[in-house]
Amino acid sequence: MMNNNPNKLDAQQLVAEFKDIPPMPNVMVKALSVIKNPATGIAELSKIMQIDQAIMAKTLSLVNSAFYGFRQQITSIQKALVILGMMKAKNIIMSLALKPMMTANGSRELWEHSIRCAVAAECLAKEYRIINPDDAFVIGFLHDIGKMLLNSKNPLKYSKVKYLAEQGNLKLTDVEDAQFGTNHCILGALVSKKWQLPVILTNCIRYHHDPLQSSLPSVCGIAYCADRLVQAKLPNPTLESTVMNKLDFSINDPIATRETLLAKANIFLKEMSGN
């Protein structure tokens, strides 16, 4: 297909320009390999977490927090994993393992928004039963990971992009395309492919701003809504009617939903941040 936009990179140029896609953190690789292997279980995942004391401590802190609300104090990581389950434990590991990468190559703001969006997507998935909530958490957390590549390529230019989009009330992906020849949605999908994540995750990362372009609009719609509802700078979230009317769920009171989601997400974020 011809590239009609002279500023937009084609697939080959994209791979060449952004060839330094970071590898998945080692602890995340190990955790995913354990979860994918039916012969392994909680004991193996527990061993991986015990090697990384920071992840183990944060997991115990989270499982004993108001986020889960268990009455009994949990002091053993193995017991915590039994209570949480393998998939929730994997999501905690992912959130913590990617924090250094996202804050170094993006910003702390990017990591914090990703956490909030992950919790929001999980909550929306539970309520509307569109997708498995654990998968929704991953989609919410990774939806903006392409921003990390743009920022690491040229931090000053990407700061300008964010400023122009915010001040001019412009669509961020349009400004990214104009300045970089690509945008964070396309690059996020590139990261997802390199990390060999499931196709459904790659699809949602690619289309979280334009869910109707996806072959799974309602699944992408969960990421779209979560992203808009927890934006720190948008206290009055706008969910476009042209999008919402074609999804398999509706949000009647976005402001009240935002408050509920942020309250839940901020408890999770506080424990993950250690503040």
Q: What does the pLDDT look like over 27-85, one tens digit per residue?
A: 888 888 888 777 777 888 888 888 888 888 888 988 898 888 888 889 888 888 888 88
* Residues 102 and 85 both lie in one domain: no
Full-prediction pTM beyond 0.85?
A: yes
Q: What is the pLDDT of residue 1?
A: 38
pLDDT range class, residue 178, cuts 50, 70, 90: very high
The answer to whether 268 touches 232, Cβ cutoff 8 Å, is no
pLDDT score recorded for residue 122: 97
Mean pLDDT of the chain: 89
Report pLDDT digits (tens) over 119-152.
999 999 999 999 999 999 999 999 999 999 999 8
Q: Is the pLDDT score of 97 beyond 80?
A: yes
Domain assignment of residue 11, yes or no: no
Residues 77, 135, single domain; the answer is no
Domain of residue 42, residue span: 24-92
> How many whole angstroms from its chain centre is CA 21?
17
In a domain, 247, yes or no: yes
87 lies in the same domain as 103: no
Percent of the chain with pLDDT over 70: 96
Domain-ending residue, one of 32, 63, 92: 92
Q: For residue 143, what are the contacts with CB-CB under 8 A and spacing of at least 6? A: 114, 117, 188, 204, 205, 208, 223, 226, 227
Task: Report CA Rg, the chain.
Answer: 19
Kindly state the percentage of the chain with pLDDT values over 90. Answer: 55
Give the model's pLDDT for residue 11. 62
* Residue 1 forms part of a structural domain: no
User: Could you tell me the sign of the dihedral formed by the alpha carbons of 188, 189, 194, 197, in that order?
Assistant: positive
Say yes or no: 105 and 88 in one domain.
no
173: CATH: 1.10.3210.10
**Residues contacting residue 109 through CB under 8 Å, at least 6 positions apart:** 232
Domain count, the chain: 2
182 in the same domain as 56: no
